[in-house]
Chains A and B, each alone.
Chain A
């Protein structure tokens, strides 16, 4: 509902935390390695504050199966000692959690001011045209998902693109998009430029 009598609510774009109940997924449990990681992370917080580890718990789920399913939320609830609704509350708030499967390579283009001033909108358009998808969609072969995200905290290297949730590509020009996508397709997430601050790998 919107306040404004003449306008409908902003056309809802595909939001990462949009979830249909049908997407309960398969029964979930951590691999032994992830279970060990979780058990270690919980010790960072006071014993009666296990809930603090919920974001880490959800990232582990996402690393393991690519997205956070209904069943995995129930599993996390049991690990933390809270209700599944508590977990869903958190999942639906934070933008980095996916509630449905995404492509193997998620391209997150920063769209905020400093990046937009240097061509980020054009970058998104090029990617969109080359892959035949709009932001929020995944290619039919399950290879790429395109996302627009807000300021990534590297505005001096605009336009910035984050691949999955950990790789960076800086100063991506609209004219380079074709080659960049080809590199991603053949070399995977390692095709990125990385963070310019990491001079050791330059």
Chain B
């Protein structure tokens, strides 16, 4: 049976983002209405039973995260929706917010009700201004229609949603850094514990959830935990959005169940339809730039959290970056280390200094000025970042180096031996200035 999209069913249709469309073509705010008739504890139980795992990167069970939120406290509680979406290769929350914003608002409101919060902040990256315009206009309509605000559906439950704009910082996607940023500081992570569930935003109990995670919540309420769990393999239930980019024929966001294999996603007719320009597949980064590479032999793994992990990588943010045979792996590592070096928040030394050091070593090897001992040094520096930092960014920054060295060490050695890049591609910078000016 063909898979029927439930997260982004109408997004390509005109006016899909409007409240009218949400009410007429989807369910309107019926899941919120239904949820407000249930005890909050039952909602958490239902989300737990569905097995919903966070879509932001870590795959942590959402129901459990909500259950940990401190209950007996005089303090207010908060939902923070993580709409920072900055992981290279990831652009799914973009579609959800721009084309189906009411699903997110409904999810936020239900999440608030479940944990006993009255306010949800949607932390959206500063570069998504065109998305924010849509969110703001539609939010106002939801308020005017009485789906948000005071005494929703006469239940006595009040809920406000505010949109908070970021200003350009990948690290603001890390949950405690996001909270710091929301408090008006630099986006630098906090030392855990205490976890946000105990002391988060303004030191109050807080749950931070990804956009796609929250968008799944109304679907669970409407269709039931069982329906949700059965959509995918065990422990990997529900619909999933995949972001496919790179050198494929049809890049884009595709919704599928997690039974789908990586090969289907890259080569399948309903998905990316294979390599562009008749070229050959070389490797894939299956979960945003922070995860290890996989090769052709791994493509038959299901694109689920557990399936990709078993294949030796991580599903992460489900950003599939597909690489063809023109990609030099030293260049790839250099490109990504430029990103990590630039985005490090600077709080821990191994990440701040190590990222910079790796980048410079990679530049040297890529230019053909490296020595064999630089390759060992790369390995040594990267390994000295892993596990020694405050947040997962450090491991992520070391990953592109470790994974390319593991699978394509011969390319590094060829660079050193021949004293030049052995795979210069026409789509890369041609002049020396730009290629190496950073």
Contacts and interface: CB of A to CB of B under 8 A. Distances in A.
A36 interface: no
A197 interface: yes
Interface string B124-142: 0111111100000000000
Interface string B390-434: 000000000000000000000000000000000000011111011
B401 to A, nearest CB: 14
Contact of A195 (B89, B130, B428): B130
Nearest to A200: B14
Contacts of A158: 245, 251
B357 A151 contact: no
Contact of A197 (B87, B98, B429, B430): B98
B47 interface: no
B184 A90 contact: yes
B182 interface: yes
B429 A125 contact: yes
B427 A150 contact: no
Interface stretch (B58-66, B165-173, B295-303): B165-173
Interface string A92-113: 0111110000000000000111
A148 to B, nearest CB: 8
Given A112-B339, A150-B170, A153-B125, A52 B186 contact: no
Nearest to B433: A134
A200 B345 CA distance: 39
Interface residues of B, number: 80
Contacts of A54: 184
Interface string A175-202: 0000000000000000000110111100
A155 interface: yes
A80 B184 contact: yes
A196 B129 CA distance: 15
B12 interface: yes
A53 interface: yes
Interface string A66-103: 00000000000000101000000110011111000000
Interface residues of A, number: 67
Given A124-B434, A156-B91, A195-B130, A117 B164 contact: no
Contacts of A198: 98, 130
A44 B11 CA distance: 30
A95 B167 contact: yes
B341 to A, nearest CB: 7
Nearest to B345: A93
B88 A113 contact: yes
A151 B168 contact: no
Contacts of B12: 199
A51 to B, nearest CB: 3
A4 B360 contact: yes
Given A2-B356, A93-B169, A117-B321, 19 more contacts: A10-B360, A50-B184, A90-B185, A90-B186, A94-B126, A111-B338, A113-B89, A114-B321, A116-B428, A118-B246, A121-B427, A122-B427, A122-B428, A125-B429, A134-B433, A150-B339, A150-B343, A151-B87, A155-B91
Contacts, number: 207
Interface in B164-197: 164-170, 181-187
Given A59-B165, A156-B253, A151 B11 contact: no
Contacts of A125: 429-431, 434
A197 B14 CA distance: 10
B353 A3 contact: yes
Contacts of B125: 153
B94 interface: yes
A52 B183 contact: yes
Contacts of B243: 155-156
Interface string B1-41: 00000000001111100000000000000000000000000
B127 A165 contact: yes
Contact of B357 (A3, A122, A165): A3
Contact of B434 (A4, A44, A128, A166): A128
Interface in B218-269: 243-247, 251-253
Given A7-B360, A158-B245, A44 B162 contact: yes
